[in-house]
Amino acid sequence: MTDAVTLHGYFRSGASYRVRIALNLKGIAYADAFHHLRKGEQNAPAYRAINPQGLLPALEIDGAVLTQSLAICEYLDEVHPEPALLPAEPIARAKVRAFAQVIACDTHPVQNLKVLANLRALGLDEAQINGWAAKVIEDGLDACSALIEGRSGTYCFGDSVTLADLFLVPQLVNARRFGVDLQRWPKLLEIERACLALDAFAKAAPENQPDAE
């Protein structure tokens, strides 16, 4: 067990959700430090000293501060290799990473609070902003669905949970928030149900966090 682990997050942060799942899967106990995104608490000088980007999450672990959820999850997997979140075979590892990056790099960042605030500043109304976010999410989920087309197994890449699942489930939560009709991706919904049946995912869910509103 790793001592003195602190997760800086927010219950509704999809990126924080990913890290909570990873910590739970690895059996790593951690303390929470909450920063309310809609109140701008992530921009407080004290938090900016921890993460200069002012983004969530940040993880204090092993005497270091780690940022960016994908980097954090991969670090946890390297230092606590069981259960493995990446396949051993290199091509399979690359495919899992690619799926996760569709969400982490090309989908979630384009519909996060900072981008939506910039759209408001440009004069778009809320319907246009929500439509933008929904379209970005739909494109991302189309890509994710195509990447696992024809694959069998309980989860995205077979019968073991991988990074792909850790990134998919929080993105589906965001999709619902923006009114995306998820029925067009039945396989993704099937995977989500399987994941949420696992204690590590259920405990990490936004509604189960101490700061949930």
pLDDT tens, position by position, 23-41: 999 999 999 999 999 999 9
Q: List the end-to-end C-alpha distance of the chain, in Å, as a whole number.
A: 30
Whether 191 contacts 165, CB under 8 Å = yes
Average pLDDT over residues 146-163: 97
The domain segmentation of the chain, as residue ranges, is 6-83, 90-201
Average pLDDT over residues 95-106: 98
Phi first, then psi: give them for residue 181, nearest 5 degrees. -80, 105
In this prediction, residue 1 has a pLDDT band, given cuts at 50, 70 and 90, of very low
Model confidence at 129: pLDDT above 80: yes
Cα dist from 90 to 8, 34, 86, 201, whole Å: 32, 37, 9, 26
pLDDT > 70 in the chain, percent: 99
In this prediction, residue 110 has a pLDDT band, given cuts at 50, 70 and 90, of confident
DSSP classification of residue 13: -
CA dihedral 57, 60, 61, 66 (to 10 degrees): 50
| pLDDT score recorded for residue 140 | 98
Peptide bond into 206 cis (omega under 30): no
Model confidence at 2: pLDDT above 60: no
Model confidence at 112: pLDDT above 90: no
Average pLDDT over residues 7-13: 97
| CA atoms of 173 and 195, how far apart (whole Å) | 13
Q: Copy the structure tokens of residue 15.
A: 């990126």
> Hey, which residues does 59 pair with through a beta bridge?
7, 66
In this prediction, residue 155 has a pLDDT band, given cuts at 50, 70 and 90, of very high
- CATH architecture of structural domain 6-83: 3-Layer(aba) Sandwich (3.40)
Determine the topology of domain 90-201 in CATH: Glutathione S-transferase Yfyf (Class Pi); Chain A, domain 2 (1.20.1050)
Average pLDDT, the chain: 95
Whether 188 contacts 141, CB under 8 Å = yes
